[in-house]
Amino acid sequence: MNGTVETKDFQPIERLAIIGIGLIGASIALGARKRGLARHIAIADRSPTNLARAEELGLGDSYHAGADAAVKDADLVICCVPVGASGDVAREIARGLMPGAIVSDVGSVKGSVVAQMAPHLPKSVHFIPGHPVAGTEFSGPDAGLPDLFVKRWCILTPPDDVDESAKERLIGFWTALGAMVECMSAEHHDLVLAITSHVPHLIAYNIVGTADDLEAVTESEVMKFSAGGFRDFTRIAASDPTMWRDVFLNNREAVIEVLGRFTEDLIALQRAIRWGEGDKLFDLFTRTRAIRRGIIDLGQETEAPDFGRGGER
Ligand SMILES: NC(=O)C1=CN([C@@H]2O[C@H](COP(=O)(O)OP(=O)(O)OC[C@H]3O[C@@H](n4cnc5c(N)ncnc54)[C@H](O)[C@@H]3O)[C@@H](O)[C@H]2O)C=CC1
Ligand SMILES: O=C(O)C(=O)Cc1ccc(O)cc1
């Protein structure tokens, strides 16, 4: 366990309930413990194996097979399950929630999570969905990292009539975990993430599948001659199948919109290669190089730790 880090100006949460103790739930638990952000961390998971492992790792203070027991008296509840399970969790916790509690989540899709959860939650709680844009290709409680969110964005999608003090409290929590917070609508989030995360993951799954299906190239050749680009795709394509199945099924519209644009642009590139239009290729590659350099100038590539590789085990 890492030592406690002083976090100024954040009044600790009395009882933090984490529902789903996988990569993200465990990283929140470890990060909150390290920084003294919660007096009691209650953990629930429907997998007895993951719950037992969380207890072995000492991720929390109490462990519950049922989410309803974990949320009792909790002032902050964070749902950290695959997005397709959000509705089930909301239904399960609804009756146990304390009036005035903040209920949030970490799902990679927001519109569908709101549609699944909001109808079940009592009006007496503050529902403020969230998404830390940080992760790795690993899953389960062993994958948790206390500094996963440091210098990473966390997007919140508060409703228009959000209680401002509840919103500030949640922003304070994520900031104390080391994240930078930005608010936007759920719909906008889903479009932005479709292009920056969801479609890139789909491309990785597809190219690794295509390589695996190529009869003329053996699997050992793929492994042996993987140059940098392909290796990066294989890391992404090792991401959790349940989580990513749920992402695509729950962000259908935005993913299909972005895929349509992507396919058109790919066909244009195919044409340029077929007809030897080197200028077109050169112009695009020049434009994309500038985008990468812009990301580095923003400090998002050099300063943030590379958990993708560092966390490999
Ligand atoms: N993996 C990543 O890099 C990132 C994931 N996310 C989002 O975080 C959420 C969790 O992802 P991970 O932590 O990676 O997944 P994970 O697979 O590591 O953990 C999910 C946990 O939820 C539990 N669970 C599933 N259904 C449940 C239910 N109905 N009740 C209680 N527990 C249940 C599972 O047993 C498992 O322990 C997902 O919604 C994902 O979209 C967000 C940012 C990054
Ligand atoms: O491992 C990677 O490269 C990721 O992209 C991690 C990730 C996965 C899902 C998210 O919603 C946010 C971050």
> Read out DSSP for 240-296?
-HHHHHHHHHHSHHHHHHHHHHHHHHHHHHHHHHHTT-HHHHHHHHHHHHHHHHHHH
Domains and CATH numbers, the chain: 13-184 (3.40.50.720), 189-275 (1.10.3660.10)
Partners of 78 in the β-ladder: 18, 104
**132 touches ligand 1 (CB under 6 Å):** yes
Atom of ligand 1 at shortest range from CA of 109: 41
Answer whether 22 contacts ligand 2 (Cβ < 6 A).
no
pTM: 0.93
Burial zone of 303 (CB within 10 Å; 0-12 exposed, 13-18 middle, 19+ buried): exposed
ipTM of the complex: 0.99
Which atom of ligand 1 lies at the shortest distance from residue 140's CA?
18
The closest alpha carbon to 125, from 103, 143, 151, 93, belongs to 103
50: Cβ contacts below 8 Å, ≥ 6 apart = 21, 22, 140, 141
* Mean pLDDT, residues 153-173: 98
pLDDT of residue 300: 67
pLDDT score recorded for residue 7: 63
**Which residue do the tokens 């790919």 mark?**
266
Q: Which of 155, 243, 312 to mutate to test the pocket of ligand 1 (most atoms within 8 A of CB)?
A: 243
Confidence band, pLDDT 50/70/90 cuts, at residue 172: very high
- Among protein residues, the one with the nearest Cα to ligand 2's atom 11 is 108
User: What separation in Å is there between the alpha carbon of 113 and the centre of ligand 1?
Assistant: 13
* 86-133 confidence digits (pLDDT tens): 999 999 999 999 999 999 999 999 999 999 999 999 999 999 999 999
The set of residues, in sequence order, having a beta carbon less than 8 Å from that of 87 and lying 6+ positions away, is 116, 117, 120
Residue 137 in contact with ligand 2 by CB distance below 6 A: yes
108 lines ligand 2 (CB under 6 A): yes
Residue nearest to ligand 1 atom 19, measured at CA: 22
- Is 136's C-beta closer than 6 angstroms to any atom of ligand 1? yes
Strand pairing class (38-44; 62-64): parallel
Mean pLDDT to the nearest integer, 35-42: 98
Ligand 2 and 246: CB distance under 6 A: no
Average pLDDT in the 57-76 region? 98
The β-bridge partners of 19 are 44, 79
Between the CA of 118 and the centroid of ligand 2 the distance, in Å, is 25
Percentage of the chain lying above the pLDDT 70 cut: 93
Helices (H), 135-240: 164-176, 186-193, 199-213, 219-224, 228-236
Question: Worst-scoring range by mean pLDDT, 30-44, 203-217, 229-243?
Answer: 203-217
SS3 state of residue 106: coil
Give the number of whichever ligand sits closest to the CA of residue 306.
Answer: 2
Residue 5 pLDDT greater than 70, yes or no: no
Q: Ligand 1: does its nearest atom lie under 6 Å from the Cβ of 23?
A: yes
Per-chain mean pLDDT for the chain: 92
CA dist 204 and 256 (Å) reads 16
So what's the pLDDT on residue 6?
52
Q: How confident is the model at residue 160 (pLDDT cuts 50, 70, 90)?
A: very high
Residue 219 pLDDT > 90, yes or no? no
C-alpha 83 – ligand 1 centre gap (Å): 8
